[in-house]
Amino acid sequence: MASRPLLCILSTGTGDRPTSIEAFHAAFATSGVDTSHVSLFDKPNISDLSEHLNNQDVVWIDRGSVVNLLAVWRAHGLDRILRDCWERGVVLGGESAGSLCWFQAGTTDSYGEVQPFDNGMGFLPFANAVHYGDRREQFHEYVASGPVSIGYATDAGAGLHFSGTELVAAVSDRKGAGVYKVSRGPDGQVVEDALEVVQLKRQS
């Protein structure tokens, strides 16, 4: 086992934008964490993606286009590799598109206007909405009529912590950032429940 935590970022959703990857490495430069990244444009920078990702403690997914991210991952077999990582206990996380990708469905602006998608990785058999303050209406419409009747939504600065497929905590890094469970009832009406949120302490 490595003496230092291993953390890898995938920034596929940004087209592997160099500035995002460089900022990630810089953020952890003095942290005691060993960082790496997987780039797929214009070809993979790692020869054995499965070995590299399965050896990580944490795999973090950057923001960007979830639709493009999913298409590129599937072309490279990353969908299967990341499921293997998840089943082996590697911690998977991310923000924005990096949150959406793990769910079955959600709402995205990858096409321009906000609209639903239902071909996510499906590790979590729910719908997901990020940037919820701007997407509440569209997310309610999806849950009301779409194939996935339960979803979780987050305001900017809030996050969801799952163990397997069970939600164990809702967290935030700022006051007022909410997390919500949105579900379709037997009568077809959408119910939104605000969840208790634990605010994470900032390091001094």
Residue 47 known to be catalytic? no
DSSP string, the chain: --SS-EEEEE-GGGTS-HHHHHHHHHHTTTTT-EEEEE--SSS-SSS-HHHHHHT-SEEEE-SS-HHHHHHHHHHHTHHHHHHHHHHHT-EEEESTHHHHTTEEEEEE-TTSS-EEE--S--SEEEEEESSHHHHHHHHHHHHHHSS--EEEEE-TTEEEEEETTEEEEEEESSTT--EEEEEE-TTS-EEEEEPP-EEPPPP-
Residue 96 known to be catalytic? yes
Which among 96, 99, 110, 172 is annotated as catalytic?
Answer: 96
Which among 20, 50, 131, 149 is annotated as catalytic?
Answer: 131
Catalytically annotated residues: 96, 131
